[in-house]
Amino acid sequence: MSSPVKNGLAFVDIPFTGLQRDAARRYVGRGMMGFRQTALGVCATGLLAVGMWVAAGAQSLSDGDFQTLLKQGFDLHQQAKYAEAILVLERARNLEPGDYFANLLLGIDLLRTGKANAALPRLEQAARANPSEEIPEDYLGEAEARLGRYAQAADAYQQATERGHDSEQALEAWAGFALERFRGIGQTLRASAAGVATVHRLQEAAAKPGSTVRCEGSIPGLERRMTARPVSRQPAREEMETAYKLSICYAVEAGKVAERLRTSGEDAAALGRLRGDVLLRLKGDAAAAQEEYRKAIALRPGDPALLERLAEAQLTAGDTEGARTSAQAALAIDPHRGEAMRTLVSLAMSSRDYDKALPWLRRLAVEAPADRTVLVDLGRVLALTGDGAAALRYLGPALAAGYPDEKGALHALEAHVLSELGREEEAAKASAEARRLSDAFQARSKDGSNEKVNANQ
């Protein structure tokens, strides 16, 4: 049976207007609860349009036929019942392995349930099935980023902008990734004195007029250089320079998109979110970022991505209760919002309420398996809540791979857990390494090489 979906849209005999076709494409690709959410008006139009072609196709088919299964899967996807949708969409894809929508929806739902590896082949198939569409590439970028494959993620997002001819949606997704990656690099840098100095350089660069800051090199190329050799315990000058250049490139790209959105004036909510992201990620101005996010929420009420961003800005500004309320509101709409979970983890850990942090960290470890900071935090919390054996499963591999531990605190915790488990020889080695790292840090501090900066990247 040939697929009734043409060019990722609908049956050719359904009288769609151009607006309906575009809305349907955007709605299905993004998903109501997805990382990139369109304005509510567009979502409503898209829901109507997609429902039209799905219902029309299902009327004359039996329950086991492809279009009926696709309709059922879409209905579950729309309700954010991703696990149930996956089962139905797998059946649909078995009937039509190359169908654009079956692969796209399945890829999105696998991604939403923390199965980024399984999502990749489905999204790649969708991209092949409809090479003129940017949406599969957007989601491929998200999947690659979840797996920590940032060079491939950058390639996918840039491919999406090319396919979409710099559409607003593709540009917004690219800028969102750029700012998230900028922040992620900054978090990694803060684990060492050399990294903190690099963050300080980035802050100084961010304060300069945009026209004076240049991107030197390609982003995918710089990302590949970042991962070309094993992570070292003492980052080399070359690695710091690569991290600096890469961060500058991401900042420049985000700035370009912000200017494009400002001049186009098509989506004020998207521009508000991006302005807030720039203020929070690049400028460290949490108060101004909150104002931008609130304006965007007024235009797009109930958008979990905006509520999640607002929570982060509130946390940065010290409004813990506001941050908790906003993060919980985001998760009530979409239970897969990673940054909202991170906000709740930060709140719990700052108050030493480790039992509350634990379930969120477990979920994050599934949703973002390549996030080493999440895995290390999970190991720490497991250790602090008395599950030493489980803690070592996270701490051990991370430390062995060179996770930054400049002061030796993580090695000391590892030594304590090993000792409690009766593994004294291993505990002694971990303890010795903790002392070595601590002594080296103290020596550098006395030499004045650990510059203290108030970095809020």
What is the CATH number for 65?
1.25.40.10
- Cα separation, 123 vs 136, whole angstroms: 6
Cα angle: 160, vertex 161, 164; to 5 degrees:
85
Whether 109 and 188 map to the same domain: the answer is no
Whether 3 and 142 map to the same domain: the answer is yes
Of the three residues 266, 295, 321, the one that is the final residue of a domain is 266
- Cα separation, 379 vs 93, whole angstroms: 39
274: in domain: no
Whether 135 and 93 map to the same domain: the answer is yes
Q: How many CB atoms lie within 10 A of CB 81?
A: 14
Q: What is the sign of the dihedral through the CA atoms of 76, 78, 80 and 83?
A: positive
Q: How many domains does the chain have?
A: 3
Whether 137 and 5 map to the same domain: the answer is yes
Whether 372 and 429 map to the same domain: the answer is yes
322: in domain: no
Whether 190 and 129 map to the same domain: the answer is no
Q: Burial, 116: exposed, middle or buried (Cβ in 10 Å; 0-12, 13-18, 19+)?
A: buried
Residue found by looking up tokens 């969708």 in the block? 126
pLDDT of residue 197: 85
347: in domain: no
> Half-sphere exposure of residue 162, counting CA atoms within 13 Å on the CB side?
8
3-state class percentages of the chain: helix first, strand second, coil last, to nearest 5:
75, 0, 25
Q: Where are the beta strands (DSSP E) in 251-373?
A: none
pLDDT of residue 448: 56
- Residue 6: phi and psi, rounded to 5, are -115, 125
- Cα separation, 25 vs 104, whole angstroms: 11
Whether 119 and 248 map to the same domain: the answer is no
The closest of 373, 402, 353 to 232, measured between CA atoms, is: 402
292: in domain: no
Whether 6 and 115 map to the same domain: the answer is yes
Mark the ranges of the chain whose per-residue pLDDT is less than 50: 1-63, 230-234, 449-457
332: in domain: no
- Cα separation, 238 vs 61, whole angstroms: 62
- Cα separation, 160 vs 126, whole angstroms: 13
pLDDT of residue 291: 95
Whether 171 and 129 map to the same domain: the answer is no
The answer for residues whose C-beta is within 8 angstroms of residue 438's C-beta and 6 or more apart is: 407, 408, 412
- Structure tokens belonging to residue 371: 């996030």
C-alpha 121, offset from chain centre:
19
C-beta separation of 179 from 282 below 8 A = yes
DSSP 134: S
The answer for residues whose C-beta is within 8 angstroms of residue 398's C-beta and 6 or more apart is: 372, 375, 376, 379, 410
152: in domain: no
Cα angle: 276, vertex 281, 286; to 5 degrees:
60
- Cα separation, 226 vs 399, whole angstroms: 19
207: in domain: yes
C-beta separation of 192 from 448 below 8 A = no
Boundaries of domain holding 238: 164-266
C-beta separation of 110 from 140 below 8 A = no
Of the three residues 240, 266, 292, the one that is the final residue of a domain is 266
- Cα separation, 146 vs 339, whole angstroms: 13
Give the amino acid at 270: A
- Structure tokens belonging to residue 186: 């900054």
6: in domain: yes
- Cα separation, 399 vs 448, whole angstroms: 27
pLDDT of residue 14: 26
Q: Is 143 helix (H, G, I), strand (E, B) or coil?
A: helix
Of the three residues 266, 298, 313, the one that is the final residue of a domain is 266
Residue found by looking up tokens 């990247």 in the block? 457
Whether 173 and 116 map to the same domain: the answer is no
How long, in residues, is the chain?
457
Whether 16 and 141 map to the same domain: the answer is yes
- Cα separation, 315 vs 307, whole angstroms: 12
Whether 391 and 433 map to the same domain: the answer is yes
- Cα separation, 409 vs 438, whole angstroms: 8
- Cα separation, 30 vs 36, whole angstroms: 6
Residue found by looking up tokens 């900054």 in the block? 186
